Structure 1
Amino acid sequence: MCSHYQTLKDAELLLKKFGASKPAPIGKYDMWPRYPGVFVRRPPEHDAGDEAVPEREAAAGRWGLISASTRPDALAGAEKLSTFNARDDRVANSFTFRNAWRRAQHCIIPADAIFEPDWRTGKAVATRFTRADGAPLGIAGLWDRYRDADGAWHDSYTMLTINADQDPLFRDYHQPNKEKRMVVILPEGAYGDWLTASAEQSRDFLAPFPSDKLIATPMT
Structure 2
Amino acid sequence: MCVNYITVSRQICFDWFRTPIEVDEHWRDNEIYRDRYAPFIVHDEQGQRKALIGSYGFVPQRHRPFKKLTKEEQMQFDLAVERAIVKGKAPPKPKRINMDTMNARAEEVGSKVNYKRFWLSQQLCIVPVLRVFEPNWESGLHERWAIELATKEPMGMPGMWRTWLEDDGSVTNAFTHFTLNADEHPLLQRFHRTGEEKRGVAILRPEYYDDWLSSTNPEFARALIELLPPDQLHACAAPKLDSENSNQGQDTEVDSVRMDPAQRSLL
**Which consecutive segments of 4 or more residues in structure 1 shift more than 4 A?**
none
The question of whether the paired residues in 2 share the 8 Å contact of 1:106 and 1:141 is answered with yes
* Rounded Cα–Cα distance in structure 2 between residues aligned with 1:132 and 1:27: 28
One-letter amino acid of the counterpart of residue 17, structure 2: F
Deviation at 1:151, TM superposition (A): 2.9
The question of whether the paired residues in 1 share the 8 Å contact of 2:64 and 2:99 is answered with no
Q: Please list the CA deviations of residues 92-149 of structure 1 after superposition, one character each: whole Å capped at 9, or x if unmatched.
A: 1111111210110111111111000111100111001111112101111000111122
Partner of 1:75: 63
Deviates more, 1:178-187 or 1:195-204: 195-204
One-letter amino acid of the counterpart of residue 75, structure 1: H
Q: Please list the CA deviations of residues 29-54 of structure 1 after superposition, one character each: whole Å capped at 9, or x if unmatched.
A: 010011011100112xx1xxxxxx56
Partner of 2:146: 128
Q: Are residues 1:116 and 2:134 paired?
A: yes
Partner of 2:206: 188
One-letter amino acid of the counterpart of residue 231, structure 2: D
Partner of 1:71: none
| Alignment length (residue pairs) | 205
Deviation at 1:75, TM superposition (A): 2.4
One-letter amino acid of the counterpart of residue 133, structure 2: F
- Which of 136, 157, 172 lines up with 2:175 in the alignment? 157
Give ranges in structure 1 of 5+ residues lacking alignment.
47-52, 68-73
Please list, as runs of the form range in 1=range in 2, the aligned pairs for 1:195-210 lying within 5 A after superposition. Answer: 195-198=213-216, 199-210=218-229
TM-score, normalised relative to structure 2:
0.72
Partner of 2:160: 142
Deviation at 1:76, TM superposition (A): 4.4
One-letter amino acid of the counterpart of residue 99, structure 1: R
Which structure has the bigger radius of gyration? 2
* Rounded Cα–Cα distance in structure 2 between residues aligned with 1:77 and 1:27: 27
* Rounded Cα–Cα distance in structure 2 between residues aligned with 1:61 and 1:112: 18
Partner of 1:215: 234
* Rounded Cα–Cα distance in structure 1 between residues aligned with 2:108 and 2:211: 23
Partner of 1:15: 14
Q: Please list the CA deviations of residues 131-176 of structure 1 after superposition, one character each: whole Å capped at 9, or x if unmatched.
A: 1112101111000111122332211000111000011110111000
TM-score, normalised relative to structure 1:
0.87
The question of whether the paired residues in 2 share the 8 Å contact of 1:6 and 1:114 is answered with yes
Deviation at 1:183, TM superposition (A): 1.1
Say if 1:54 and 1:12 are closer, same or farther in 2 by CA, change over 3 A. farther
Say if 1:27 and 1:57 are closer, same or farther in 2 by CA, change over 3 A. farther
Q: Please list the CA deviations of residues 48-69 of structure 1 after superposition, one character each: whole Å capped at 9, or x if unmatched.
A: xxxxx560111100101139xx
Q: Percent identity?
A: 27
Q: Please list the CA deviations of residues 74-96 of structure 1 after superposition, one character each: whole Å capped at 9, or x if unmatched.
A: 92428742111001122111111
